[in-house]
Structure 1
Amino acid sequence: MNSREDGRGYGRPASASAVEIASAVRGRGLRAVDVVAEALERIGRADPVLCAFTEVWSEQALRRAGEVDGRVAAGEALPLAGVPIAVKGRGGLRAAGPLLAAGCVAVGATSVPGPGTPWQTWGLGAHGRTVNPWRADRTPGGSSAGSAVAVAAGLVPLATGSDGAGSVRIPAAWCGAVGLKVTAGRLPSPDRTGLAVPGVLTRTAADAAAWWGVVAGRPDPGEASVSLPVTAVWSPDLGFAAPDPEPVARARAAVRRLVDSGVVRLVRPPAAPRLLDPAPAWLALRTPGADLADAHRLRAENDRRLDLLFAGAGLLLTPTAPTPPHGHDGPGDVYSTALTWAFNVSGHPALSLPAGFGTDGCPAGLQLVAPHGREALLLAVASEAERRGATPS
């Protein structure tokens, strides 16, 4: 069910990136109202199958697009002029202010898990459970489920997400999108624990970089230039997880492509990267009234180990998810977050890059983790990998 390639049953997919759309609208080659109308048509055709949206705001979106066209005609420079976006959940519009100011048009709220669900790797849209655009019998991941599907299926080029344990990176990996989670504390977040931070899902690294430029404002000094190849350490399991062989093989092959294309250079640390399993700390931090002494000790030890790793390398590379996408009945005893939530506890920025397809026909992801505050490094590496043909098309 590859909607990105031919849109079977879904209407015409959006081939233009957010950057391309904005350039065309700013240059008056496209009107925002036409771009948004086409996105709404795609959603209308696709969503009864994909169930990516809980709400679609057709009238408001077209009105907003007309306002964007007016702003462009008045000479206003809008970095994301006319780009149709989806926002995560019904409350997602509250955090989209910088994107709307930059010219984006929010077309709807995307699906998240239903109430009372113990697992967060699925979604519930207005038409039913959210399906993976590559295989309807598989989950797209979560909790940014609908956002990943809306992007991967070509309904919109950019969707917002939030990531508390892998909620952007896992659906990005399982749907074949780029998914970025930012450094903890760098952008506003309503999460009292500090574990959940904003993120974005896009089809290209350039679009993710455009999002970052808008929400972060001026980059920090030293972020602008990145020397390639970037030194990197590979770990299939972070020293504690037990991922399935196939996601590891897909991620390892993606690393080889990055090395062969000159984007990264693998270095061998004095000892293999070995973190403590973050599960007890993450669960304690999310439990009101829990004794957090052990959680703080675990976090401090993992922080120490990550500091040592990043003293000798620019990036840490791992599979994004330990398994392929599971069915809609849930993952069983396997935590889909096994390789992602360590970096919610530590606060490091991380990005999931498409890493090819498994034997089940579903995508897999390669996770790139950088030192605190180095989102620009992640985006530069991902963009260069795309430019050099080191990622699946």
Structure 2
Amino acid sequence: MQRGAVVGRVEASLARIARLDPEFRAFAEVWEEEARSRAWSVDTALPLAGLPFAVKGPSGIRSYAAGRLIEAGAVPVGATAVPGPGTSWQTWGLGRYGRTVNPYRDDRTPGGSSAGAAVAVATGMVPLATGSDGAGSVRIPAAWCGVFGLKTTNGLLPSPDRTGLAAAGVLARRVPVAEACLRCLLGPGAGACGPTEDAVPAVYAQDLGFAEVDDEVAAVARAGVERLRAAGVVRLAPLPGQGDFALADPREAWFAIRAGARDTPRGPEADDAAHGGAAGPALRAAAENSRRLRGLFARVPLLLSPATPHRPHGHEGPGDQYSTALAWAFNVSGHPAASIPAGHTRDGCPVGLQLVAAHGGERLLLAVARAAEHVPGGPAGWSRRRRTHGGG
């Protein structure tokens, strides 16, 4: 790539941030001069030379992912908004100009905790942002902002989260950009899965056996599955001798592990005293979920569900709704999971379709997501839709 093109990519990103960020408040910090300096000095032969990207929160520049992307020639332009102080819920963000707003609905949250990352990508301020996902923190904002978001297999990349629940992730406007990023993070073969010539066998589980899913969100997600099926991307495969695939609600297991109960039992026969005392039942449920998922992925390579059980909530908070309900089972089990755009509800809110694969199955998720981008009838991007300002 020529030096002028490298510098031009970074300058275009900075100009778009200057124009749009006062409205959307996606960034906590913007590093204009440092980004320009990197653009002029980066080795133009590197695979990601001049690719502008954002990091999650001010501390994100110290993450393993950011370091590897910089080594590959990508240029960090700023730190995105994460939840501010004073609340325990994480589905919002606080940028340098105020609270981060959903690019489709000003009166709705973009999700979180990778809130600003999703908004920066959705509005085209950057093509790529790093994230971290401990309970859906990449997939939820990706779903609610209509972009691609991937949580990697837990433990595959370094994470500062000592509980093991959080995994590194990326958010991207286009899947090939995420693939290029993953090749730099995981090695040459990580993001290079070829096209899926045959439909991928998949199981669709609308509520995963326990979640209460909004009817319209469920309908949009199911319509997304049907488009993939009709286009030959996936093939819905019934499980012989079984009904719908179901997991146990992972809520208590997630909280137990977050509180320090890290030793998960190997089977339902393990006793409470040996595995976390009062946390024993929750950990046994987590072990049973892992067993069911192993059985599922021994039969089919792909599990599908809505990414979230409801549409984006207002800025006042989620109330008694758990936005994480369909996401955090895979933080407990460690499986890689992604959200791809499935469509929109009638009031203009994006809906995500969650893709889950066996441990180490990032290449399959990327291949299916890439194929989904070319399926006719998919959702239009933010720049081609009229945003709803408040109300409704």
Mapped to 2, the partners of 1:117 and 1:389 lie a distance apart of: 41
Partner residue of 1:169 out of 129, 139, 156: 139
Partner residue of 1:284 out of 247, 253, 256: 256
Mapped to 2, the partners of 1:101 and 1:80 lie a distance apart of: 9
For residue 222 of structure 1, report the CA deviation from its aligned partner: 11
Q: How does 1:100-179 map to 2 (within 5 A)?
A: 100-179=70-149
Partner residue of 1:78 out of 41, 46, 69: 46
1:252 aligned onto 2:239: no
Partner residue of 1:380 out of 367, 387, 390: 367
Tell me whether 90-99 or 111-120 shows the greater mean CA deviation.
Answer: 111-120
For residue 79 of structure 1, report the CA deviation from its aligned partner: 1.3
Mapped to 1, the partners of 2:372 and 2:193 lie a distance apart of: 18
Give the structure 1 partner of residue 18 of structure 2.
44
Partner residue of 2:295 out of 308, 332, 341: 308
Mapped to 1, the partners of 2:293 and 2:197 lie a distance apart of: 22
Q: Alignment identity in percent?
A: 59
Tell me whether 289-298 or 81-90 shows the greater mean CA deviation.
Answer: 289-298
Mapped to 2, the partners of 1:216 and 1:204 lie a distance apart of: 19
Q: Is the 8 A contact 1:187 1:198 kept in 2?
A: yes
Give the structure 2 partner of residue 347 of structure 1.
334
Give the structure 1 partner of residue 181 of structure 2.
211
Tell me whether 299-308 or 287-296 shows the greater mean CA deviation.
Answer: 287-296
The one-letter amino acid of 1:86's match is: A
Give the structure 2 partner of residue 392 of structure 1.
379
Mapped to 2, the partners of 1:136 and 1:116 lie a distance apart of: 21
- 1:223-263: per-residue Cα shift (whole Å, max 9, x none)? 66755210000011000001100111111000000000000
Q: Secondary structure at the match of 1:91?
A: helix
For residue 220 of structure 1, report the CA deviation from its aligned partner: 6.5
The one-letter amino acid of 1:110's match is: T
- 1:183-232: per-residue Cα shift (whole Å, max 9, x none)? 01111101001100000001111111111111101336996675521000
TM-score with structure 2 length normalisation?
A: 0.89
Q: Secondary structure at the match of 1:31?
A: helix
Partner residue of 2:285 out of 286, 294, 298: 298
Give the structure 2 partner of residue 93 of structure 1.
61
Identify if the C-alpha distance between structure 1 residues 214 and 378 changes in structure 2 by more than 3 Å, giving closer, same or farther: same
Give the structure 2 partner of residue 33 of structure 1.
7
Identify if the C-alpha distance between structure 1 residues 53 and 221 changes in structure 2 by more than 3 Å, giving closer, same or farther: closer
What stretches of structure 1 of length at least 5 have no aligned partner?
Answer: 1-25
For residue 282 of structure 1, report the CA deviation from its aligned partner: 0.3
Q: Secondary structure at the match of 1:243?
A: coil
Mapped to 1, the partners of 2:17 and 2:210 lie a distance apart of: 41
Tell me whether 111-120 or 247-256 shows the greater mean CA deviation.
Answer: 111-120
The one-letter amino acid of 1:198's match is: A
RMSD across aligned positions (CA): 1.7
What stretches of structure 2 of length at least 5 have no aligned partner?
Answer: 262-275, 381-392
The one-letter amino acid of 2:58's match is: R
